[in-house]
Amino acid sequence: MTTLAVDHRATLASRVIAMTRLQLTVNPLLVVLPIIVVWASFAVTRLSVIGVQEPNVRLGGLMSIYFVQLGLAAVGGYQSFGHAVGLNVTRRAFYLASVLTGVLQSVLYGLMLYLAGILERATDGWGARLRFFDPTPLTSSNSPVTVLVYAVPLLFTTLVGLFLGALVKRFGPRNVILLSVAAALVLGLVAALITYLDGWAPIVGWLARQSPRAILTGWLLVPTALAGAGGWLVLRRAVP
């Protein structure tokens, strides 16, 4: 029987680290699958542009790693929660470990995409003028800061996935669907109210004054933090 968290003298940090190690080693497919999917998508895309002479920008293929990470974070958090609590892991240690795992994965995947983008530019788009890993001006720099352009959106999708998984665990799939419909209605009403008050011009103007890099690597951290906090507030009352 594992002694992951039965030692009550263990600190929260040691429990989080132990749980993170467990998450990364017990089911390594959760870590490897996004890598497999994005490279498989690249292989299919590369084959599809054989003989094409014009520059090709394929943003959709790169987005596959973000959607896979979103789904894995939601399903992984939902399925492993009960098992972790059964090992006497506290909800706080489990959730912090899940967030730490997401941070590590986001940095790892971001670094991989950054290096792939450098190689893509060095080979003139893999010999086919293909822009798969470097689809936008934001990703066209060799600066190490470009890692954040990939990593921050990955962290955002991870924490949104954890939040969705926590909702399903706390309220059940049917109620989550109802909550989603209600949230969509509320957002629609808010959008209608902004339109009625002629409030879109200041919002669009503010966005126009921000650089795309600032939005993607800076301001995106705000909803990322909100998703992380929301996931914890929901999971702390979930039943294993």
Residue 189 scores a pLDDT above 80: yes
Residue 195 scores a pLDDT above 80: yes
Q: Looking at residues 173-196, what average pLDDT do you find?
A: 91
**132-153 pLDDT per residue, tens:** 999 988 898 899 999 999 999 9
Residue 77 scores a pLDDT above 60: yes
Residue 108 scores a pLDDT above 90: yes
DSSP class per residue in the chain: ---SS--TTS-HHHHHHHHHHHHHHH-THHHHHHHHHHHHHHHHHHHHTTT--S-EE-HHHHHHHHHHHHHHHHHHHHHHHHHHHHTT--HHHHHHHHHHHHHHHHHHHHHHHHHHHHHHHHTTIIIIIEESS--SGGG---STTHHHHHHHHHHHHHHHHHHHHHHHHHH-HHHHHHHHHHHHHHHHHHHHHHHHTT-HHHHHHHHHHS-HHHIIIIITHHHHHHHHHHHHHHHTT---
Compute the distance between CA of residue 192 and CA of residue 182 in angstroms, rounded to an integer. Answer: 15
Kindly tell me the sign of the dihedral angle through the C-alpha atoms of 83, 89, 94, 100.
negative
Give residue limits of the domains in the chain. 12-171+210-235
Q: What is the pLDDT of residue 2?
A: 46
Percent of the chain with pLDDT over 90: 47
Residue 1 scores a pLDDT above 60: no
Compute the distance between CA of residue 35 and CA of residue 46 in angstroms, rounded to an integer. Answer: 16
Instruction: State pTM to two decimals.
Output: 0.87
**2-13 pLDDT per residue, tens:** 444 445 556 888
Tokens representing 22 are 């467990």
Q: Are 88 and 125 in contact (CB under 8 A)?
A: no
Q: What is the pLDDT of residue 10?
A: 66
- What value does the mean pLDDT of the chain take? 87
